[in-house]
């Protein structure tokens, strides 16, 4: 799961949540979960996304922090050294 957490001052909560809804609609991102926690005079909002790019974009747009687990490389991806890095036939490796 990819998550982004933002801190919203209590006085700006309603306006910020409206801005979040509009931003999600414009960008066609669909969160999978919202979580709210109170923190002194603010509300911490954590939004989970299925796509890491959405969580990163959300965190960037709303000055948040993100948790983006590393994703496994595609099984189609191949890692090959360029020809100049292949072992020289003149080197004995025995």
What DSSP letter does each residue of the chain carry, written as one string?
-EEEEEEEEGGGHHHHHHHHHHHHHHHT--EEEEEEEEETTEEEEEEEESSHHHHHHHHHHTT-EEE-PPPPPPTT------GGGSPPTTS---
Domain layout of the chain by residue ranges: 2-67
* Residue 81, pLDDT score: 41
Tens digits of per-residue pLDDT, 11-58? Answer: 999 999 999 999 999 999 999 999 999 988 999 999 999 999 999 999
* Residue 61 binned pLDDT confidence (cut-offs 50, 70, 90): very high
Decide if pLDDT at 90 tops 90.
Answer: no
* Residue 80 binned pLDDT confidence (cut-offs 50, 70, 90): very low
* Residue 39, pLDDT score: 85
Task: Spell out the CATH class of 2-67.
Answer: alpha beta
* Residue 69, pLDDT score: 60
């Amino acid at each position: 799961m990819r998550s982004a957490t933002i801190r919203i001052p209590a006085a700006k909560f309603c306006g910020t949540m409206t801005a979040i809804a509009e931003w999600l609609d414009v960008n066609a991102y669909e969160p999978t979960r919202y979580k709210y926690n109170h923190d002194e005079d603010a509300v911490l909002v954590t939004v989970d996304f299925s796509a890491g790019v959405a969580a990163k974009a959300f965190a960037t747009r709303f000055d948040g922090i993100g948790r983006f687990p590393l994703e496994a490389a595609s099984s189609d991806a191949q890692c090959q050294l360029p020809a100049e890095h292949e072992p020289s036939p003149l080197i004995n490796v025995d």
